[in-house]
Structure 1
């Protein structure tokens, strides 16, 4: 299964928007089935963007269930750069041109577009 950066962003936004710091049980993301969602939560856990407990559950379609999913500091930082829909669209277009979709490339592109927006708004950038 390929990594889907739109799903990565959607999961992070969903967790951040949850009324409590931790999401228990299934995390539903519009337009996605549980298999890809669970796979991407696992990837986000490996990347250090989320904390999550994986429980075996024979009653689920996939045999496991992520529980107690929450954002880490690193997850909040990444989401902070890709939250804005306009920045996200520019970031995706830039990554497509470069042909690189690593998390570090996506984060750097997004950060660059955030800095451009700050300059456009007349906000100080750098020291």
Structure 2
């Protein structure tokens, strides 16, 4: 299965909105979340991309015995990523910019998004 950057971003935004993701831990059941994300993502896509978020260090937690995940919290790195890509216009522009380079790596999208945000801040401050 392919990693889907849009799915990863959607999962992080959803986790951030959850009061239970507070450092004490909560369950993340891809089958339950499929109801929320249908028709955009199915449970297999949600599960695989959650595994990718854990592997990348954007989320702290582990896989449980039921096939779901026990999520402790979004890591500092995960929050930094969200802060850079929260705005959908920045996200779309960063993805487009990354694609022009011939690669579509999440780290490159993040770096392009950070550059776009920085340019926006500089423009607003007249720097």
Structure-2-length-normalised TM-score: 0.83
Indicate how the Cα distance of structure 1 residues 45 and 18 shifts in structure 2: closer, same or farther if over 3 A, else same. Answer: same
- Note if 1:85 corresponds to 2:88: yes
> Which segments of 5 or more consecutive residues in structure 1 lack a partner in the other structure?
58-63
Aligned partner (choices 27, 50, 63) of residue 24 of structure 1: 27
> Which segments of 5 or more consecutive residues in structure 2 lack a partner in the other structure?
none
Q: Of Structure 1 and Structure 2, which has the larger fraction of its residues in helix?
A: 2
Q: Give the aligned CA root-mean-square deviation in angstroms.
A: 1.7
CA distance in 2, matches of 1:73, 1:100: 25
CA distance in 2, matches of 1:123, 1:75: 29
- Note if 1:12 corresponds to 2:15: no
Q: How does 1:1-127 map to 2 (within 5 A)?
A: 1-20=1-20, 21=22, 22-27=25-30, 28=33, 30=37, 31-57=40-66, 64-122=67-125
Aligned residues: 118
Runs of 4+ residues deviating >4 angstroms: none
Q: CA deviation at 1:69?
A: 4.7
